Structure 1
Amino acid sequence: MEIKRDNYVYDNVIEVEDLDKVSSRKFLAGVFSWMFVALAISAFCSYEFANNLSLLSLVFDLQTGARTGFGLIVMFSPFAFILAMSFGLNKMSYPVLAVLFIAFATCMGISLSSVLLVYTGGSVLGVFITAAVIFATMAIAGYTTQQDLTSFGSLLIVALWGLIIASLVNWFLHSEQLSYIISYIGVAIFVGLTAYDVQKLKQIGAELEHGQTETKKYALIGALTLYLDFVNLFLYLLRIFGRRR
């Protein structure tokens, strides 16, 4: 009787672990789906505004090259969307969060249209593919590793704040050498954050029930996190390897 009881408990443990894995996979599938949608929206908006003078004139003064009032709003609005989605997660409905997420991706795309004006199309495409390969590799590493990355992630977040401060300082100094150093550090930080964030989302997904509204909302926030990881990785790589026009 004891042997049968032990087998029964053991089988139940395996079943619970399998259910957690299924929940994580479904949750991450939703996260990456929203992330890819956001990237597609941003890429489309960036391309359209960079190649259509009537749209580009809404963002930049074509004579002076300075940003227009709309261009300044578009440049800073993503921060507002991030704050609204992060702090309003529990108060906002899922459809509202989805609309804000799409609006965020749209504004990011319009703002990033300047990238296509500064760098050649070939180098942008090459760096994008490189960033995608690195991102996918680290995402797989974060999902499959058995090592807890919590302490590693905490160090990366501290380093990220240092990177932000250094970037603000260099905004006034205009040091090209410091800019390169910041770019290399930025690549290292977001490579690590990609693995950390995927592992964290995997753990969150195991604790949530698939199909629930709360789960869908967390998937949107997860997509926002990974979107930012990828875009920042791409931009820092572009500063290092991109060819200017």
Structure 2
Amino acid sequence: MEYRLSQSKFISKTLLVMALGLLVTYGTGMLASNYLRYISFTTMLVAMFLELGVVIYLRSKVSKMSPAKATSWFLIYSALNGITFATIFVLYDLTTIGTVFIIAALMFASSAMVGMTTKKDLSMFGQFLTMSLIGLLIVSLVNIFLPLKGLNLTISIFGMLLFSGLTAYDMQKIKYFHEQAYYMNSNDVSRFIIIAALELYLDFINIFLYLLRFASNNDN
């Protein structure tokens, strides 16, 4: 019973940190969209590279950070995401964004529930999911320079399915995180929570973006 309560608390804290990151991204994106005409393409490009740098830094250094510092870096990353997502608030109305967000949340919750409840070991799919992600990135890059009819829609559907699968995979992995963190001190547990929240944050953001892309393709 004590272990189950500990696991539930661990997952709840992880989801809370993830939700905080999403809130920061939304707030920063809304704010930045009001000043989009003053934000140059170079600034956007710098923000994108900074995002990548922050993720790499956080993943590699989190074990040596204090929980407060790790949380701060996670929120900095969330804010940088908000800046690069500012165009979404210009290209789409709030009703569309809100509808897509709700659908993305339902997809995320369903996938997370599968990861939490399934008896099947999903770690065997890790390599497949990683290779699929690399393939998706390559096809997306090719599509930018050599756009093919119907490929955008295919990428959108595949992206949604892939990150739904990654959500289930990561959620089960978080259960294993808890098994490792159960006997650790509170600082180490907090670090595990930040990394777990980052994984789920990235899954949700990508489900949302590919779903938005899918909706845009349908409108067209």
CA contact (8 A) 2:36 2:87 kept: no
- Return the alpha-carbon distance in structure 2 between the equivalents of residues 125 and 175 of structure 1: 29
Determine the structure 2 residue equivalent to 1:152. 125
The 4+ residue runs of structure 1 with deviation greater than 4 A are none
- Return the alpha-carbon distance in structure 1 between the equivalents of residues 204 and 82 of structure 2: 14
Report how far residue 233 of structure 1 moved: 0.4
Q: Residue 62 of structure 2 aligns to a residue in which SS?
A: coil
- Return the alpha-carbon distance in structure 2 between the equivalents of residues 223 and 156 of structure 1: 19
> Please, which moves more after superposition, 193-202 or 118-127?
118-127
Determine the structure 1 residue equivalent to 2:93. 120
Determine the structure 2 residue equivalent to 1:220. 194
CA contact (8 A) 2:30 2:89 kept: yes
Determine the structure 2 residue equivalent to 1:21. 4
> Please, which moves more after superposition, 99-108 or 177-186?
177-186
Q: Residue 113 of structure 1 aligns to a residue in which SS?
A: coil
Which amino acid in the other structure matches residue 225 of structure 1? Answer: E
Which amino acid in the other structure matches residue 135 of structure 1? Answer: F
CA contact (8 A) 1:46 1:111 kept: yes
Distance 1:198 1:136, change over 3 A: same
Determine the structure 2 residue equivalent to 1:71. 44
Report how far residue 153 of structure 1 moved: 3.1
CA contact (8 A) 1:170 1:178 kept: yes
Structure 1 position 107 matched with structure 2 position 80: yes
Report how far residue 19 of structure 1 moved: 3.7
Match of 1:234 among 183, 188, 208: 208
- Return the alpha-carbon distance in structure 1 between the equivalents of residues 148 and 114 of structure 2: 35
Which amino acid in the other structure matches residue 57 of structure 1? Answer: R
Distance 1:233 1:22, change over 3 A: same
Determine the structure 2 residue equivalent to 1:96. 69
Q: Which runs of 5 or more structure 2 residues have no equivalent in the other structure?
A: none
Identity %: 33
Match of 2:164 among 154, 177, 191: 191
- Return the alpha-carbon distance in structure 2 between the equivalents of residues 165 and 86 of structure 1: 23
Q: Residue 74 of structure 2 aligns to a residue in which SS?
A: helix
Q: Normalization by structure 2: what TM-score?
A: 0.92
Q: Normalization by structure 1: what TM-score?
A: 0.83
- Return the alpha-carbon distance in structure 2 between the equivalents of residues 176 and 39 of structure 1: 33
Report how far residue 93 of structure 1 moved: 2.7
Q: Which runs of 5 or more structure 1 residues have no equivalent in the other structure?
A: 1-17, 61-66
CA contact (8 A) 2:122 2:172 kept: yes
CA contact (8 A) 1:23 1:206 kept: no
Report how far residue 179 of structure 1 moved: 1.9
RMSD: 1.9
Determine the structure 2 residue equivalent to 1:5. none
CA contact (8 A) 1:41 1:109 kept: yes
Report how far residue 144 of structure 1 moved: 1.3
Q: How does 1:133-144 map to 2 (within 5 A)?
A: 133-144=106-117
